[in-house]
Amino acid sequence: MKILVTGGAGFIGSNFIHYWLQNHPQDLIINFDKLTYAGNLENLTDIEKSPNYTFIKGDITNANQVQSALKGVDVVVHFAAESHVDRSILDPSVFVKTNVLGTRVLLNEALNAKVGRFHHISSDEVFGALDLDTPEKFTEETPYRPRSPYAASKAAADHLVRAYYITYRLPITITNCADNFGPYQYPEKLISLAITNLLEGKKVPIYGDGLYVRDWLFVEDHCRAIDQVLQRGKIGETYLIGTDDKEISNIEVIRKILKILGKDESVVEYVKDRPGHDRRYAIDATKIKKEIGWRPKYDFDQALATTVKWYQDNNKWWKRLKDKKFDDYYNKQYFKR
């Protein structure tokens, strides 16, 4: 089987490529990536010479480039997206271009190429926010209520994917996942930023009161879920990927990292909250568990310790990313708003 992975030099995409080649060594992977700030070919240096792996630098908004990359492809796994809420607040336009217009181009060319499956990676953020004092969780039937430019762009992409299935019969599946963490995550998200800041001897910025709750998913568990959806998922269906019982507040996540690194809370710095900050996300993963048989393999504490160890062992990787351009963004986002 020949698979086109869009955004394969990014965090989840590169982890997926590693996972797929380890578990399906007979398949061919094409990594199609524009190499924006969050795309890093160093994530894939150990497999770059594999005969089963090919990298193509390209932009999903460019129909000619996409058309060329899709030749002979059986399956598309679409990760490519602008994905950081904070950056979408600073500049929504690039999110609309990549996440909406880019997905439209990719869908159209996949339809023309008659691919056997188009799998779209989405987010639980399309469903909006939940209250802290409710047992409610997101399901596949939850109405869309995006509250950030990022979430709105992903919601629009989801609707386009479904429209191509209903209108043109393009064989699609969609997964909406919880917040991911693990190796190769660009150091701007909560966990990767906190770990790298602490390893640098810096403080950890926390928005507002730190009580925002997320459902945390180790990236390898996400990759396994996609694999099983591709094998056993029903065409046209959506599956939510979450842990069900790992809702943890931001400050509790940071406390766990502090404990692993032997530090106290004096290094935590509460900063002005970001606009429209969603209070809580929580996923009911009953459908994917019952219909497909997927369950998370990793305990949160175990996976967090593994992640911290990875950043400790790979400081050259992340230190190169935290350059002057990163510092300018970081200071603007946390301290100059």
Q: What is the mean pLDDT of each run of 10 residues along the chain (337 residues)?
A: 98 98 98 96 97 98 98 98 92 96 98 98 97 94 97 98 98 97 97 98 97 96 98 98 87 98 97 94 97 96 97 97 94 82
Name the domain count of the chain. 1
Residue 244 appears among annotated catalytic residues: no
Identity of residue 26: Q
- Residue 110: inside a domain: yes
- Residue 263: inside a domain: no
pLDDT at 80: 97
pLDDT at 296: 95
pLDDT at 301: 96
Residue 252 appears among annotated catalytic residues: no
Q: Which domain holds residue 115?
A: 2-180+218-244+282-297
Of 33, 59, 109, 124, which is the active-site residue?
124
The H or E element containing residue 6 is: strand 2-6
CATH of the domain at 16: 3.40.50.720
Look at residues 245, 260, 238, 101 and name the one whose alpha carbon lies nearest to residue 165: 238
Residue 150 appears among annotated catalytic residues: yes
Of 125, 158, 220, 278, which is the active-site residue?
125
- Residue 320: inside a domain: no
What separation, in Å, do the N-terminal and C-terminal C-alpha atoms of the chain show? 48
Of 150, 165, 184, 311, which is the active-site residue?
150
pLDDT at 336: 73
pLDDT at 104: 98
- Residue 257: inside a domain: no
DSSP string, 125-175: GGG----TT----B-TTPPP---SHHHHHHHHHHHHHHHHHHHH---EEEE
Distances (CA, A) of 321 to 10, 192, 217, 328: 13, 12, 23, 12
- Residue 228: inside a domain: yes
pLDDT at 247: 87
pLDDT at 318: 98
- Residue 94: inside a domain: yes
Look at residues 279, 195, 290 and name the one whose alpha carbon lies nearest to residue 244: 290
Token duo for residue 243: 């842990």
- Residue 75: inside a domain: yes
- Model confidence, pTM: 0.96
- Residue 273: inside a domain: no
